[in-house]
A and B are shown apart, each in its own frame.
Chain A
Amino acid sequence: MKVGLSVTIATVAFILLVVVIGEALILTYSHDNYSSSISDDGQLCEITSRGAHCYDVVVTAGSMDSPSAVYIYYDERYGSAHETVSVAVGARELTEESYVKQLVKTLNVRSITNVSIINAEEAAGILSGDGNGIALISLSGALPDTVYNGTSDSPVIRWIESGGRLYWAGNVLGKYIAHDNGSVTEVPNGTSLFLGSECIDSERTESYSRIDNRIGKAYSLISNDTRYSVIASKLPEGTQCLGFGFTDGLRSSSCIVSVGNGTVCIIGGDYSDYQRIDLAQIVASGLSPLTNIIDHRTGTVSGKTVTEITRGGSVYVYIGGDLTVYAELHEAV
């Protein structure tokens, strides 16, 4: 009986210890467990990682620098026009609020820490200034009437043309204006105000093929939902545009278009975790309509490793592949 008791208590102690140690270990993980840097001559990339992980180093020409500030518009007083999505049985609901919170964390993993969540009034203040180097993310499917009035003279359009970067997901760009009584109104031909033509619809399509421009694979873009994305062939002639990710033959899962001195990036599809992850990767990597991959190195890092890279472009380093645990954009040397 004595032996039985001690064995029972030893087993209990083992399990409780496993649980408590595991709990403590989780708290020790942070962004600081990883790092990356580029040598002064721009030819070597040093990567460090706690434990074994795969890494990707993508060198590009024509990409943008890291945004100087990232703003996510979210105002529960104002209406929104995104669709409610299904989640797996037992999973948490994917609402706009939870999406925004998760996006902040997903951006933090990619070394974007200057992120603020702004309401309609704050958006009006920020969009009244120069947009150069600033990113605005909207997931509501409808822009508030403080920044969008359904004309080409709207503050948000002027802000983009001044150099702002608008990242859009959730519905057809420009189609809805949100008001502080929770309602939305429809704008006929709203997309044309931003992109010069009605090049976006809300048709549900299936896309199983990667676009053959290396970007989807190189940046581990995983969403294949093309709904609400740009039909590039309908854009006005001469518009600079880069589609990447997956394609249904007409649309791409993500697309970035030049508008004046700024850019509009559409991340296709209804809300999903894949969309959130792609959105964060696109914002953090500085992808632009002119992005061109000049080098892509992959390997495994456990502790520290150094890899040679082609000099001359901006360098996006990420660790963990499709399940990214760290990323950072380094400007061209």
Chain B
Amino acid sequence: MLFDDSRSFLCKGIIIALAVGLAARFAIGTLLSYNYDVFSWALIISNIEAGNGLYDVTGYNYTPVWGYILGIFAQFTEVLGIDVLAERFPELIFTEAAADPIFPHLAFVTTVQFNIAVTTLIAVFDVLTGYVLYRFVCDIYGDAKKAKICAAIWLLCPFVITVGAVGGMFDCISALLTMLCIMLLVKDHEFLAGAVFSTAFLLKFFPVFLFFIFIAYIVAKHRNGDYIGRMVKAALGFGIMALIILAPQIAAGQLGDCFSFITSRVTTSTTVIGDIEHYAAPIAYVLILILEIFIAYRFLKTDHKNLDRSFVWSSFIGILILFIYPSTPTYVLLLTPFLIMTAFVTDRRFRTPMYILMVGTTIFSLSSNAMSLTSITMYTDLLPFDTWMQIYTWFDTRVMGMTVANLMAYIGGTIQYAGILIALYHAFKTLLTVKEECGYNGIHQ
């Protein structure tokens, strides 16, 4: 039997998932690397090493938490002897001019050693997320076997592998912190939950939308007790952690720079995608905010047979709603553990959208075309430049008015969004038809 009910995380199924998942990550991370994203980490590390911190010069556009993780990572690259992080290759400059602004290219190419190091960093957090997912399911649903199945699916999920190994993106940490925050609230550790929520918010913005459902849970759980005191504790945890994280930026007068990733999206538009974001994103996020408040309100007003499970369900819906506004493959990682959990523990109808996402998001995340092969082309003999040019030319061939690479991205993105819509359909159907427990109607299988 691959998965068992034992208390030990490691079983045959998990060991296989770990081995296969890690092998896939390292194989893909060695051969494919989307430089536009991974180069950003190299640039940020060099800015840090030059003594310019995160915001003194261009490079880092996020809130500071990921930059701090890169601060530790820089130590490892130095100790491991990775003396060159990236170089700019004149042979590839033509790709910068030729690229669609929606899918930009760079002539800067990260070294294979650096790509492997980034893959390792993300893999560590992927494994940790898998383990926390296991603990989460064990604690909330009390089913160790299903918990292990969920962890194995996370470890083997193709787009979790490609987003981390090819793009070097860190959204698995967002998912990890969000799960931890929910677990801490369930265990009445509001202060720590606030600190973790603050870290999640200052890693990437999206978990902040769960604020309302988190408050609703504290009120619902301690309706007859000290819910105000607990909210104060959560606020204190949030505030203190935010102060610790933002202290260098507050001292340097760079607080505004920390949030440029958010503010620049609604103030500047210089590309087609910028124009779309400029108008559509604020409208979509206002709608999302209203829905989040509605879900929290409904949670508060409903009688729950099992408050904790209902809270997890509502949190899942709260995250799912974020994707009403179509996203890149990376953001889907925040949803993934919750979707896996829902699909394989509580409601099997969500398996179909999960499988659709596995196809669509994986295609979407691999649509960076031949640019993902530049590291092995420029630094190894595995792929001669002429062959790379042939692959580039093929991806650049126009089909139905767009390049093969863009077509692949649009197909992947459309399939991904179809998966999200199906999941939203099931979620709202449950939400609007099941009167008890805010849509959670027990473990189905």
Contacts and interface: CB of A to CB of B under 8 A. Distances in A.
Interface of A: 1, 3-5, 7-9, 11-12, 15-16, 18-23, 25-27, 29-31, 33, 50-54, 86-94, 102, 105-106, 108-109, 206, 208-210, 222, 224, 246, 273, 300-302, 320-326
Contact of B70 (A22, A53, A87, A224): A22
14 contacts: A4-B138, A8-B135, A11-B180, A15-B176, A16-B199, A19-B68, A27-B248, A29-B74, A51-B78, A93-B264, A108-B51, A206-B97, A322-B86, A325-B49
Interface in B59-115: 61, 64-65, 67-75, 77-88, 90, 93-94, 97, 101, 104, 108
Nearest to A105: B56
Contact of B75 (A3, A19, A51, A86): A51
B295 to A, nearest CB: 25
Contacts of A12: 180, 184, 192, 195-196
Given A19-B65, A52-B82, 12 more contacts: A11-B180, A18-B69, A19-B199, A26-B67, A29-B50, A51-B77, A52-B80, A53-B78, A90-B264, A92-B61, A93-B264, A210-B90
A23 B64 contact: yes
Given A23-B68, A31-B51, A106-B57, A87 B82 contact: no
A30 B65 CA distance: 20
A320 to B, nearest CB: 6
B61 to A, nearest CB: 5
A26 B71 contact: yes
Contacts of B135: 4, 7-8
B248 A26 contact: yes
A89 B265 contact: yes
Contacts of A210: 90
B58 A29 contact: no
A321 B273 CA distance: 33
B66 to A, nearest CB: 9
A32 to B, nearest CB: 8
Shortest beta-carbon contacts, A-B, top 6: A51-B78, A22-B68, A323-B46, A22-B71, A86-B270, A325-B50
B56 A102 contact: yes
A223 to B, nearest CB: 10
B183 interface: yes
A1 B81 CA distance: 43
Given A8-B183, A18-B72, A29-B48, A90 B78 contact: no
B73 to A, nearest CB: 8
Nearest to A3: B7
Contacts of A324: 46, 50
A144 to B, nearest CB: 26
Contacts of B49: 29, 33, 50-51, 53, 320, 325
A21 B50 contact: no
A222 B39 CA distance: 15
Contact of B248 (A11, A23, A54, A321): A23
Contacts of B53: 26-27, 29
Contacts of A222: 88
Contact of B85 (A30, A31, A50, A323): A323
A31 B131 CA distance: 40
Interface string B264-303: 1100101101100100000000000000000000000000
Contacts of A273: 57-58
Contacts of A30: 51
B271 A86 contact: yes
A8 B81 contact: no
A322 B87 contact: yes
B51 A51 contact: no
A26 B46 contact: no
Nearest to B75: A25
A89 B70 contact: no
A33 B51 contact: yes
A50 B42 CA distance: 17
Contacts of B80: 52
A90 B265 contact: yes
Contacts of A87: 264, 268, 270
A321 B195 CA distance: 39
A89 B87 contact: no
A3 B7 CA distance: 10
B251 to A, nearest CB: 10
A102 B58 contact: yes
Nearest to A30: B51
Nearest to A20: B244
Nearest to A23: B68
A105 B59 CA distance: 13
B241 interface: yes
Nearest to B70: A22
B261 interface: yes
B88 A326 contact: no
A209 B90 contact: yes
A105 B49 CA distance: 13
Contacts of A33: 49, 51
Name the residue among B48, B101, B257 with the largest chain A CB count within 10 angstroms.
Answer: B48
Contact of A91 (B75, B77, B84, B264): B264
B312 interface: no
A26 B50 contact: no
B104 A88 contact: yes
